[in-house]
């Protein structure tokens, strides 16, 4: 059975694809969208804090000297593995401009730390094409397999940085799951819940920041 189409592809291979209909990994996230001087999107800065259960499993897998902590070289190996693994999933970034999907470039590096029993990752990505601050832009972070739950604890964790946003209106959208299901009964089939990797419908449930300029 095919394994590991999730955050930890090649990192832990925790579960088969058919088990992805509900989350097993929980992340508290922060996203900063940075405007460039020319009035476009310069980069998107991510901070991810993982739940303690998943974090401890990463320690077990990457603690090569078995000292129950992650040394700098071990943390770097985690970052390299995730950087390679998430390329096919666009680093869970969900960007659109006037409804058009925008992909992102591979980050130069994913910095990893381990504090108070939790794994943290820090990285920045850039759009593969220019995203001018015109029209309606949407920014979200979600796992299309539904294996990883990515949560923004407060609306402030979806932040804009730079003068280019001064003329824009912003709104954090937190979809109600029951409402999404009710409004999309024709699209949300049993096949989606059994194998969401075959669809792109999970983004309907994802928290996002909408910016209108």
Task: Please write the tens of the pLDDT for every residue from 112-143.
Answer: 999 999 999 999 999 999 999 999 999 999 98
pLDDT at 52 over 70: yes
Residue 181 resides in a domain: yes
Q: Please give the Cα distance from 169 to 39 (Å, whole number).
A: 15
State the pLDDT at residue 126: 98
Place 3 in a pLDDT band, splitting at 50, 70 and 90: very low
Residue 4 resides in a domain: no
Residue 6 resides in a domain: no
- Give the N- to C-terminal CA distance of the chain in Å, as an integer: 46
**136-184, pLDDT tens digit by residue?**
999 999 988 778 889 999 999 999 999 999 999 999 999 876 676 676 6
**Taking residues 183-211, what's their average pLDDT?**
67
Residue 5 resides in a domain: no
**pTM of the shown model:** 0.84
Greater pLDDT, 195 or 33: 33
pLDDT at 208 over 50: yes
Q: Please give the Cα distance from 128 to 58 (Å, whole number).
A: 30
Residue 160 resides in a domain: yes
Residue 96 resides in a domain: yes
Residue 2 resides in a domain: no
Q: Is the dihedral of CA 102, 89, 125, 28 positive or negative?
A: positive
pLDDT at 193 over 80: no
State the pLDDT at residue 9: 42
Residue 10 resides in a domain: no
Task: Give the position of tokens 């796992």.
Answer: 143
**198-207, pLDDT tens digit by residue?**
445 667 778 9
State the pLDDT at residue 146: 78
Q: Please give the Cα distance from 108 to 83 (Å, whole number).
A: 9
State the pLDDT at residue 59: 93
Mean pLDDT across the chain? 84
Residue range(s) defining the domain that contains residue 99? 17-212
Q: Please give the Cα distance from 49 to 69 (Å, whole number).
A: 17
Domains identified in the chain, total number? 1
């Amino acid at each position: 059975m095919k394994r590991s189409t999730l955050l930890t592809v090649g990192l832990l291979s925790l579960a088969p694809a058919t088990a992805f209909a509900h989350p097993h990994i929980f992340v508290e996230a922060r996203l900063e969208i940075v405007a460039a001087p020319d009035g476009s999107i310069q980069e998107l800065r991510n901070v991810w804090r993982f739940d303690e259960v998943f974090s401890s499993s990463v320690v077990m897998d990457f603690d090569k000297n078995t000292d129950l902590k992650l040394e700098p070289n071990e943390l770097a190996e985690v970052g390299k593995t995730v950087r390679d693994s998430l390329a096919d999933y666009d680093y869970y970034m969900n960007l659109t401009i006037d409804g058009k999907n925008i992909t992102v470039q591979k980050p130069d590096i994913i910095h990893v730390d381990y504090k108070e029993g939790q794994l943290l990752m820090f990285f920045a990505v850039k759009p593969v094409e220019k995203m001018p601050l015109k029209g309606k832009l949407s920014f979200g972070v979600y796992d299309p397999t539904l294996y990883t739950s990515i949560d923004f604890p407060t609306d402030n964790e979806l932040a804009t940085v730079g003068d280019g946003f001064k003329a824009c209106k912003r709104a954090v959208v937190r979809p109600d799951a029951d409402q999404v299901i009710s409004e999309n009964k024709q699209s949300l089939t049993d096949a989606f819940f059994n194998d969401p990797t075959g669809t792109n419908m999970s983004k309907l449930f994802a928290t996002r920041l909408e910016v209108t300029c």
